[in-house]
Structure 1
Amino acid sequence: MPKGYIVGHIKVTDPDGYPEYVRRDTPVLEKHGARFIVRGGQSETPEGEEMGRHVVIEFDSYEAAKAAYNDPEYQEVADIRRRCAESTIILVEGT
């Protein structure tokens, strides 16, 4: 079965508030089997808009990734991210 991923491209606009999101999202997503493959780190953007922070989270399936994202507890935590950053979040099925 193909794995599922949540991919985030994030431009933090409130660096004081954003760490609360990082602290609180991890346990919620891990309940769905999340494995953080990329979480920040050095990057460059040769094409497109520079977002500054990139995250890749792996799940056992696409359905598990969707369930994690749609979890009401995660959506409550995601409101912190929405207040503290501009972001593009993508759910994608692996090959």
Structure 2
Amino acid sequence: MESDERYRRARGRVHVLKGFYIHLAIYIAVMMLLLIIDFMTGGGWWFYWPLLGWGIGLFAHGFVVFGITGFLGTKWEEKKTQDLMDSYSNQ
């Protein structure tokens, strides 16, 4: 693989990781703010609803970034592309 291609892929991966970490930091900051607001207003505990809802989205984002890379990541795409190219050349 050429060094330009490796650099492009590495930069793309860094961009994806950075996006997740920013998402995580904003999630933590907003949840702490909502917890403080919930505590200060003295109402019923409602902050856990956005915590759970957004938490599911954050989990899904993390799964895509960290968990699914081996299953449907770049290596899978390359292998599948090569398999399809091979099958088209045999026809």
Q: Please report the TM-score for the alignment, with normalisation by the length of structure 2.
A: 0.32
Q: Structure 1 or 2: larger helix share?
A: 2
Larger RCO (CA under 8 A, 6+ residues apart) = 1
Would you tell me which structure has more strand in proportion to its own residues?
1
